[in-house]
Amino acid sequence: MKSIYKILLLSLVLSGTGMSCKKKLEEAYLNPNAPVKVPVEELLPQLVSVMAANYAGHGPMNDARFISMYIQNFASYTVSATRNSSTMYERMGGTVDGSDNAGSIWRMHYFDIGQNAMKMIEWATDEKKWDYVGVGQAIFAWSWLQNTDYHGEVILKDAFNTNLLTFKFDKEEDVYLYVRQLCNQALENLSKTGDGVSQVNLAKGDAFMYNGDVNKWKKFVYAVLARSYNHLSNKSIYKPDSVIYYCDRAIAVNAENAVVKFTATPGFSANSNFYGPVRNNLGTGFAIRQSAFIANLMKGANPAFSGVDDPRKWYLLRPSISGQFNGIPLNGGIGAIVNANDRPENFWGSRWDSLVPPASDARARYIFRNGSPMPVLTASEVQFMKAEAAFKKGDKATALAAYRKAIELNFDMLQNEYSTNVPAANVLTTSVRDNFLANTAVVPALASELTLSHIMLQKYIALYAHGAIETWVDMRRYHYTDADENSNQVYRDFVLPPTTGTTAMWPDNNGKPVYRVRYRFNSEYVWNIEELRRLGAEALDWHTKETWFSKP
């Protein structure tokens, strides 16, 4: 939003010299070097790219590096007490000082999507290209939901009012209502035919998501709606039937997954995956590895799946020289694994002690390759939402069927999309998948034996790394360590940082876990500080204030 403030300040200066304020700045001073209006077909590719991370590095995958510390997907290679270092987030600290760490979703929503989505919707409406209108509304709805779940209160009503110098924040529940309104509008526009609607023309702007298939976009919208109902599981207004209703209309097969694709042109970084070696976002300056929590979960060392060797580990995780699959213990750094031969490779398949990116991604796997597609919302996630809702409703037969289907879909997605560079002996097959599903330690024989731990931990695996933001929503709904119906932790063996000692929670937390991310420093704390004071967002422990969606 910083750019908006600059425009507003310049407008005030111009008004002081006698220029009329009735015209917008861009109308009063047309840019001779760029068109005032661009084809909507040229706006959409940038909106899609930022749903992962765009050429400038803004988007969810940037912030997921920090959030992955909170949920213990990732762990710090080096233990450090430095403020805003990766270790700080592993200790559940919030960004402090002038850092914009973890502020990329804020920028994505208000800057990279923001006015661009609004202009695409406006211009496409003028041209009666209802499919572009619907896609713009779908992306905006997704972004609004992610933004409020991430930060808590956000700027809704005043967000794009260029007549303002300061912007008031709105309640999360108001944003949720707006998300659903946008979704319904998107479904209406995506269902229109005639006028300027054209699959061929939509595909011009939609080459990196759905190739102009409005039916897949509608399924994406239904999945966003399902999320908006599923997130409220702690509230009296929670409606599991609504979650199930929208899940049944949402993304159902992997061919419908919302996935951002990359061309990974050699010699360029802008069109490559944010987590690939060419962009070097997981190495030099921010070295991280897989955590002990995910490694234990997949090698059978977690009591929820004791003794179960998950064959997907060859896709998601990295082995050590000794052939073991280990992860860095909480706040321990790589040195906590005493035997160097037991330390895991980095995500690009280099030695455990390599902190620089390799020249190629010839050993990288999963979403850590330069050209790997990045999932945004998948059929597997939808089925896990349905399983959880049915479980809470008391329909365990439906819950078990959806749970099994969710795991099956995740296996199939990995096999079909991410088998590159996996050792031939460890490539997933239908028989490997079915043998895993036949293991009653994973999929109970009886619906009555299914637990919330089964559902949420398998969902944790299926969303590993690419779905870190959504996993954080889930873990906050269960307050990290809530118990299930059997008095076991839902996230079995998940341990919060201790309250004392060198690896304790960050001091600013006052012993409380993190529930929100501070607003982006270089827009809100620089330009909108009075409104933040009204909220209480100047407090050092602001990031520990629980969000609305996770409260009863």
Residue 32 has pLDDT above 80, yes or no: no
Which candidate, 195, 178, 176, 177, places its Cα nearest to that of 133?
Answer: 195
The sign of the dihedral angle between the CA atoms of 313, 490, 231, 540 is negative
471 and 518 part of one domain: no
Q: What is the pLDDT of residue 55?
A: 85
Which residues does residue 290 pair with via DSSP β-bridges, in sequence order?
A: 74
* DSSP strands (E only) in 323-450: 374-377
Question: pLDDT tens-digit profile of 176-202?
Answer: 999 999 999 999 999 999 999 999 999
Q: What is the pLDDT of residue 21?
A: 41
Which candidate, 142, 141, 151, 59, places its Cα nearest to that of 105?
Answer: 59
Rounded to whole angstroms, the Cα distance separating 304 from 60 reads 29
Which residues does residue 259 pair with via DSSP β-bridges, in sequence order?
A: 375
Which candidate, 251, 293, 298, 246, places its Cα nearest to that of 406?
Answer: 251
Q: What is the pLDDT of residue 30?
A: 58
Mean pLDDT of 486-509: 93
Residue 9 has pLDDT above 50, yes or no: no
Longest CA–CA span in the chain (Å) reads 78
Residues 431-439: contacts with CB under 8 Å, at least 24 apart:
432/311, 433/408, 436/310, 436/311, 436/407, 436/411, 437/404, 437/407, 437/408, 439/308
DSSP letters spanning 145-163: HHHHHHHSSB--TTTT-TT
152 and 292 part of one domain: no
Q: Looking at the domain assignment, is residue 341 inside a domain?
A: yes
Q: Looking at the domain assignment, is residue 509 inside a domain?
A: no
Q: Looking at the domain assignment, is residue 156 inside a domain?
A: yes
400 and 473 part of one domain: yes
Q: Looking at the domain assignment, is residue 497 inside a domain?
A: no
In the chain, pLDDT over 90 holds for what percent of residues?
88
Mean pLDDT of 59-71: 97
| pTM reported for the whole predicted model | 0.93
Q: Looking at the domain assignment, is residue 455 inside a domain?
A: yes
What are the Cα distances from residue 434, in Å, to 76, 299, 383, 405?
35, 18, 18, 11
Which residues does residue 483 pair with via DSSP β-bridges, in sequence order?
A: 489
Domain limits for position 533? 2-48+81-265+514-550
Which candidate, 357, 335, 330, 347, places its Cα nearest to that of 89?
Answer: 330
12 versus 222: which is more confidently predicted? 222
468 and 534 part of one domain: no
Question: pLDDT tens-digit profile of 387-424?
Answer: 999 999 999 999 999 999 999 999 999 999 999 999 99
Q: What is the pLDDT of residue 7?
A: 31
Query: Is residue 222 within 8 Å of residue 141, measured between CB atoms?
Result: no
Q: Looking at the domain assignment, is residue 224 inside a domain?
A: yes
Helix axes 468-477, 130-151, angle to 10 degrees: 50
For the chain, state the CA radius of gyration. 23
102 and 177 part of one domain: yes
Q: What is the pLDDT of residue 293?
A: 98
Query: Is residue 192 within 8 Å of residue 219, measured between CB atoms?
Result: no
Q: Report the helix count and the strand count for the chain, using DSSP H and E.
A: 21, 4
Q: What is the pLDDT of residue 57?
A: 87
Mean pLDDT of 143-168: 95
**What SS3 state is found at 303?**
helix
Q: Looking at the domain assignment, is residue 372 inside a domain?
A: yes
Q: Looking at the domain assignment, is residue 314 inside a domain?
A: yes
373 and 260 part of one domain: no
- 58 CB neighbour count, 10 Å cutoff: 23
467 and 533 part of one domain: no
Rounded to whole angstroms, the Cα distance separating 294 from 72 reads 7
Mean pLDDT of 274-296: 95
Residue 4 banded pLDDT, cuts 50, 70, 90 = very low
Residue 25 has pLDDT above 80, yes or no: no
Query: Is residue 517 within 8 Å of residue 70, measured between CB atoms?
Result: no
Rounded to whole angstroms, the Cα distance separating 341 from 324 reads 9
Q: Which helix (H) or strand (E) holds 289?
A: strand 288-290
379 and 437 part of one domain: yes
Tokens for 381? 């996630």
In the chain, pLDDT over 70 holds for what percent of residues?
94
Owner of token pair 């990329």: 104
165 versus 205: which is more confidently predicted? 205
Mean pLDDT of 95-108: 94
Which residues does residue 377 pair with via DSSP β-bridges, in sequence order?
A: 258
Strands 74-76 and 288-290: antiparallel
Mean pLDDT of 61-79: 96
**Amino acid, single-letter form, for residue 176:** Y
CATH code, domain carrying 544:
1.25.40.390
221 and 332 part of one domain: no
Q: What is the pLDDT of residue 34?
A: 57
Of the ranges 60-69, 131-140, 159-168, 363-372, which one carries the lowest mean pLDDT score? 159-168
Rounded to whole angstroms, the Cα distance separating 9 from 530 reads 17
Number of independent structural domains in the chain: 2
**What SS3 state is found at 271?**
coil
Residue 162 banded pLDDT, cuts 50, 70, 90 = confident
44 and 190 part of one domain: yes
Rounded to whole angstroms, the Cα distance separating 533 from 536 reads 5
Question: pLDDT tens-digit profile of 296-347?
Answer: 999 999 999 999 999 999 999 999 999 999 999 999 999 999 999 999 999 9
DSSP letters spanning 209-220: TTTT-HHHHHHH
Of the ranges 379-383, 399-403, 529-533, which one carries the lowest mean pLDDT score? 529-533
- 81 CB neighbour count, 10 Å cutoff: 10
467 and 387 part of one domain: yes
Which candidate, 138, 140, 172, places its Cα nearest to that of 155?
Answer: 172
Rounded to whole angstroms, the Cα distance separating 34 from 38 reads 9
Owner of token pair 């090698």: 299
Mean pLDDT of 238-246: 98
Q: How is residue 128 annotated by DSSP?
A: T
Mean pLDDT of 221-226: 98
